[in-house]
Amino acid sequence: MTLQEIASKMHDQVKVLNKTDFRGEVTLEVPLDQIVSACRLAKEQFGFNFLTDICSVDNFGEEPRFEIVYELYSFDTKLHLRLKTRVSEDHLEAPSIVPIWPTANWHEREIYDMMGIRFTDHPDLRRILMWEGYPYYPLRKDFPLEGKPSEMPDVAFSNIAPLAGGPFVTSPGPGGTKDHEPRAHPAD
């Protein structure tokens, strides 16, 4: 079965909002309430036995704002299928697919940590990179790269990193490296 046949067969069983073909890659966008059944269908009927990755996208300024991207792969047919779904900022919840692919556990924790999308029925929804209690979601578009100060006594803290106009500022011209590359704190 080719990828196109799989896509059209999935179209019969779940609602597909949008189908994109790009350089042999097929992307199906499904509504949020059907993502679990779409994933289950892809695994059980079409043999996508490997979840490569789950990513999230912040389309800041659009509605619905967030997007979750599931990359599926089949070791039997060697086909790659991409599923997408949109999550609104007002209702930041998505169903967990840990029961289908257990490897989704840490991927969903990372999305929760970095984007702030909560996964309902997740067995262990804790932050994975930042510490528990950190008040921000750093990969959102409205979060500055230099960070925001946070204070949790005895647990952790963070301060604003000096960017001096950009993350990798070097300026040519006379003077030493002290002038070319701004330091974290002035030498005194």
Q: Which residues within the stretch 133-162 sit at the binding site for another protein (CB under 8 A)? A: 136, 138, 143-148, 154-159, 161-162
Distance CA 158, CA 163 (A): 15
Nearest to 135 by CA among 156, 111, 163: 156
Burial class (CB in 10 A: 0-12, 13-18, 19+), 38: buried
Among 19, 89, 92, 131, binds another protein (CB under 8 A): 131
Which residues 167-186 are close enough to bind another protein by CB under 8 A?
167-168, 183-185
Question: Mask 91-130, x = binds another protein (CB under 8 A)?
Answer: --------------------------------------xx
CB 147 within 8 A of CB 161: yes
Of the pair 35, 114, the CB lying nearest another protein is at 114
Which H/E stretch holds residue 87? strand 80-87
Q: How far is the CB of 115 from another protein (least distance, A)?
A: 14
Three-point CA angle 111, 116, 120, nearest 5° = 75
Question: In terms of CB distance, is 102 or 162 closer to another protein?
Answer: 162
Positions in the binding site for another protein (CB under 8 A) = 129-131, 136, 138, 143-148, 154-159, 161-163, 167-168, 183-185
